[in-house]
Chain A
Amino acid sequence: MQPLHLLDSQVRSLRQQVQSTETQLRNLKIQLQQAEQQCEAARQLEEAWAGGFPHEWINETLAALSPEAHQAVGQESQPQSTHGRWPLESEEYKRYGRQMILPEVGLHGQLRLKKARVLIVGAGGLGCPAAAYLAGAGVGTLGLVDGDTVEISNLHRQVAHGTDRVGMSKVDSAVEYLTSLNPRVNYQRHPYHLTPQTAISLFEQYDLVLDCTDHPTSRYLISDTCVLTSKPLVSASALKTEGQLIVLNNPPLPPGSSNGGPCYRCVFPRPPPADSVLSCGEGGILGPVVGLMGVLQALEAIKLLTAQPSPSSTLEPPKPTLLIFSAYSTPPFRSVRLRTRRADCAACSSVASITSQSLTSGSLDYVAFCGGTSPLDLLPPHARVSAAEFARQPRDGTNTLIDVRDETQYSMCALRGSVNVPWTGDAESWAQAAALREEISAAGKACYVVCRMGNDSQLAARALMERGLGADGGVRHIEGGFRAWREEVDPGWPEY
């Protein structure tokens, strides 16, 4: 048996060797990817040439496209064509001609789109329009990830789904729509939610990723995976009447390369407090707002995919920007300069702590990182009442129903005789507003508090109890709010 200190140093040295070999492997993979891209560009040109590109132009064009590509082609003596006279089929010229005649696209751009594999994570308000425009533009392979099924409340904005497909998997529904739009695209279905364990092997099958999800948890996971697999990421989000768009990890250089584009963690190293995160179901969303952001994602993807590959030596440092859209501001668009890569970023810096192993092993807990929200349970049993119990209370003026939804929701539907005191988010100011209402401050009346889901009503009931308001008649909140009211008492109550 060797002495402990020798074994220790052996472990240390092996660990160092493993680390340096891993770094070497990662760099080799990046080099391979770049070489493949250059080779691809060269091959496309060969095909273009076979389709009538004059022979004497080819070297000149290749040189302009990329010096490396030129060399790669120079080594092949005879260009080969697999397509006959023209590189695209005749229907493709008709289908894509209106974008191909733009100098920004051209034949080369169209061939690059055809070779491209794009992964769209989320087939909702962003993913539907993004997928539609990318399919229409002739992207070769389009992968869709979503574990949800279509609901009728999705249809005002999720334009790839339809009324007759409510209940169907969103991925299947979207592929049905997209196939009718453009059957030439190879659609890949991934009808499940993205997980850290499977994300890397999935992303490796694609060239570019669109984040069309709706939660910080998935946004960090997608960004980390894009860094680890060297994929550029087009990320967008929307809520109420506003939207945001960023292109991240572009260029997708290995962690530690300061010329690579920043990742989501560079811009947002810490997640927002969980209770500050609103979903579209809670906060609301205007269809064209999220649609616009999804269309812009497709546009950024087309720009990235059709761009001429440039040799890494001439790469300019990234100039990352964030586009902010605000439907009711003038002007509605604002583009702002963002920081570059963060020197201590947990994902893309030279001191990154997030590795492929930490993802695939499941040791990275994204839900814990972003902080989960648990259902509110603030009140003792005597201060709670079910919707069915409330329905049995006399309607003789001995009790008051306080509806704490905002005015917009209250004016959509309300119970006759109820009093609307919108929850302000703050117990003190809300209780002040409530105390001004005679129905609440009057002696001897029982107070029932209701809201949409049964959370704000607990906060409001507690605010009353702590201030002794409605104390003699008792204060209760209605469990589950109007959702429970609809389920237990009145099926005709509007579900929204």
Chain B
Amino acid sequence: MASTIPVKIEFTGGLEILFSHQRSHKIALPSSDPSTNQPANVGFLIDWLCKNLMKDPREDMFVLEGTVRPGILVLINDADWELEGQEAYELQAGDEVVFVSTLHGG
């Protein structure tokens, strides 16, 4: 039985163009990673987003060398994911994960 957890996803700084030009998404994420049988973590979420939510084939605009590309900040519940354990953070129901592409214009 495949249970899911509700997670809020937001893309900003231009990343939304890779996801149907939509900033906010509510997804039902499988509660465990079928390849490892471990609880779903942010690493699994990123892979899941590429396979299930990304409508644009330019995956390298989002993921490079197995993690988010340089210049993208990942925020878990409004904190830099480096404060939360990065890919290893295990998602809880209702968590919000924001992907921010850095801007350079001025």
Residues of the B chain whose Cβ atoms lie less than 8 Å from the Cβ of A236: 106
Tell me whether A324 and B100 are in contact (CB under 8 A). Answer: yes
Q: Mark B82-106, 1 if CB is under 8 A from A, else 0.
A: 1100000000000000101111111
Report Cα–Cα, A392/B92, bound state, in Å: 64
If over half of A's interface residues share one DSSP class (helix, strand or loop), that class is named, otherwise mixed; here it is mixed
Please report which residues of chain B, range 54-85, place their CB below 8 angstroms from some CB of chain A when the two chains form the complex.
56-58, 60-61, 64, 69-73, 75, 78-80, 82-83
Interchain CB contact under 8 A, B106 and A290: yes
In the complex, how many angstroms separate the beta carbon of A285 from the nearest chain B beta carbon? 6
Q: Is B34 positioned at the interface, with any CB of A under 8 Å from its CB? A: no
Contact of B106 among A237, A283, A336 (CB under 8 A): A237
Interface residues of A (CB under 8 A from B): 122, 124-127, 211-216, 219, 236-240, 242-244, 267-273, 276-280, 283, 285, 290, 293, 322, 324, 326, 329, 334-339, 424-426, 428-429
Please state if A338 and B80 are interface contacts (CB–CB under 8 Å).
yes
Find out whether the CB atom of B103 lies under 8 angstroms from the CB atom of A429.
Answer: no
Contact residue among B14, B57, B105 (Cβ-Cβ distance under 8 Å from A428): B57
Would you give the shortest CB distance from B71 to chain A, in whole angstroms?
Answer: 3
Contact A273 B71 (CB under 8 A): yes
Q: Name B64's closest neighbour in chain A (CB-CB).
A: A273
Q: How many residues of B contact A (CB 8 A)?
A: 29
How distant is the Cα of A214 from the Cα of B69 in the complex, in angstroms? 20
Contacts of B82 in A (CB 8 A): 339
Q: What are 16 A-B interface contacts by the 8 Å CB criterion?
A: A212-B106, A214-B105, A214-B106, A239-B13, A239-B14, A244-B102, A267-B80, A272-B72, A279-B105, A322-B100, A324-B13, A326-B12, A329-B12, A335-B78, A338-B80, A339-B82
Query: For residue B79, which residue of chain A has the nearest CB?
Result: A337
CB–CB A336/B57 < 8 A: no
B23 within 8 A of A: yes
Complex interface: chain B residues within 8 A of A211 (CB): 106
Q: Are the C-beta atoms of A238 and B105 separated by less than 8 Å?
A: yes
Q: Which residues of B contact A127 (CB under 8 A)?
A: 106
A219 in complex: contacting residue of B13, B60, B64, B104, CB < 8 Å? B104
